[in-house]
Amino acid sequence: MIQLYYITLVLASILLTCATVFGFLKYKLFTEKEKSYIYYIIFLFCIELTSNALLLKIKSNDFLYPVYIAGEFFMVSSIFFKKLSLSKYYYTASASLSLFFLVGDRILARYHYNIDYSKATSNIIITCIIGYSLIRDIKKIENKSSFQIIDKMMFLYFTVSIFIFMFQHELLAFPVEYFSGFWIINNLMVSSLYSLFIYTFLKLKK
């Protein structure tokens, strides 16, 4: 089971790298709203690269986790705020929440608040935003976008990962095979998401 976990982890990293490369190659074909997707992929790639470099250098990347949560929340919410043509006040609210996710575990440490609560809260809000966007898309069939398949997969991924990140510390009490099983599911879902990014990027034509 542990070996399978590492295989799916490497697979996800390879697919993320490929998605980033294809995103760069197809960048000029993106509309202004669609460019937010490639910014998100680039952000994830930078986080992954920095995380691996830190593990090699200082054997720890824990401090990067809040940066990942805050950055992902702002990037993903911005994607759908643009799709929904929402006002700048939504971006301000998103930036404020992102800042809280960045430092919330330190500010509320005495209340036993940990960073996993920030991740779960972030995912819940993101899921609601994506869900609302998908409902809007259903009502506007004529505006069908090639990125809708990514939106649907993102909705599924963030919904499932709410439970994984919220209860990951409790999962440590289970045998390592069970704990690894949850992260294998997470890695496979991430791999599916990156694969859809690659598929969508390759479909873009002049």
Instruction: List pLDDT tens digits, range 187-196.
Output: 999 999 999 9
pLDDT for the residue 114: 82
pLDDT for the residue 178: 67
The sign of the CA dihedral 42, 44, 50, 56 is negative
pLDDT for the residue 171: 67
As a whole number of angstroms, the distance between CA 202 and CA 21 comes to 11
As a whole number of angstroms, the distance between CA 151 and CA 51 comes to 26
The CA–CA distances, whole Å, from 15 to 36, 65, 111, 192, 205 equal 19, 21, 39, 9, 21
Residue 146, pLDDT > 60, answer yes
Triad 70, 36, 80: Cα angle to 5°: 75
**pLDDT tens digits, one per residue of 13-54:** 999 999 999 999 999 889 888 999 999 999 999 999 998 888
pLDDT for the residue 206: 63
Mean pLDDT of all residues in 2-21: 92
- How does DSSP assign 81-142, residue by residue? HHHTT--HHHHHHHHHHHHHHHHHHHHTGGGT--HHHHHHHHHHHHHHHHHHHHHHHHH-GG
**pLDDT tens digits, one per residue of 92-128:** 999 999 999 999 888 887 888 888 888 889 999 999 9
Total residue count of the chain as it appears in this document: 206
* Whole-number percent of the chain with pLDDT over 70: 92
- Contacts of residue 60, Cβ cutoff 8 Å, sequence gap at least 6: 54
As a whole number of angstroms, the distance between CA 143 and CA 152 comes to 16
As a whole number of angstroms, the distance between CA 94 and CA 21 comes to 28
Which stretch of 45-49, 55-59, 130-134, 155-159 has the lowest confidence by average pLDDT? 55-59
Q: pLDDT band for position 172 (50/70/90)?
A: low
